[in-house]
Amino acid sequence: MVKGRWLLNSQCRAAVMGKPIAHSLSPVLHRAAYEELKLTGWTYDRFEVDEAALPEFLKELGPEWAGLSLTMPLKRAVIPLLDEISETAASVEAVNTVVFTEDGRRVGDNTDIPGMVAALRERGIEQVDSAAILGAGATASSALAALARICTGEVVAYVRSEARAAEMRQWGERLDVEVRTADWADADRALHAPLVIATTPAGTTDALATAVPERPATLFDVLYDPWPTALAARWSMFGGAVVSGLDLLVHQAVLQVEQMTGRAPAPLDAMRKAGERALAAR
């Protein structure tokens, strides 16, 4: 892990970028960390930037910049503009963190993957013998990469098209994960897995809520607003363990703060509480 430089009262900048970006909770989380770490000169902003504007934006950044958080649609577009990316980022061809080093290099990483693992570990999930993924988008590939670290057996991905199924199987081969694909029409079967990771947009899994088994295991729903989702609410009602998108957001942000500032550990509890307050106020 590459770490940035820090000075207690230095004027350092960081930001989150993407399009759209107004909804991002990243400023809330990072600013809470700076306050807790007493990094009084640090600021964290948000910028709406698309792929076309990204090269010029990066070109204009001065030496006061410590790092960037990236969301869609920039996670792949940024890769050719960097000097180096980590093995983790390369494994899914996606960068969500850029650190500017003291010697001027731009180094990319992906904290979503270890963030998922950390969020699960916090709930006592160290290893599973099988898992199910709902969806097949960019987040699903990160979920597969996380499962490569903790799942010892088969992962079943429930998708809507053969094209998506082929993509998930390809990711499985690349990440050395045993992946079997199944039709979305049978997605209710996923809910019996020891670990279910829902990676779909808001509302997509609502119809599955009535199919939650009487004794569900663990659900990791990557959404956080609105929360809880219908599936997560039903899962909790039946006594199953639920890991939320806010858990993921906080854990990946913790790793970003540590890399950009060089300070560790980042204040997980303070960041989570700040995120919870911000969501409650929406």
- By annotation, the residues acting in catalysis are 75
> Which residue has 């670290």 as its token pair?
149
Phi, psi of 220 (to 5 degrees): -115, 105
Instruction: Show the tokens assigned to 103.
Output: 């010697």
Sign of CA dihedral 139, 145, 151, 154: positive
Gap between the Cα atoms of 188 and 134, Å rounded: 10
Ramachandran area for residue 239 (φ above 0: left; ψ -120 to 50: alpha; else beta): left
Q: How do 42-48 and 12-18 pair as beta strands? A: parallel
Gap between the Cα atoms of 99 and 112, Å rounded: 15
Instruction: Show the tokens assigned to 225.
Output: 């607003």
CB 18 within 8 A of CB 48: yes
CB 30 within 8 A of CB 37: no
Gap between the Cα atoms of 170 and 186, Å rounded: 21
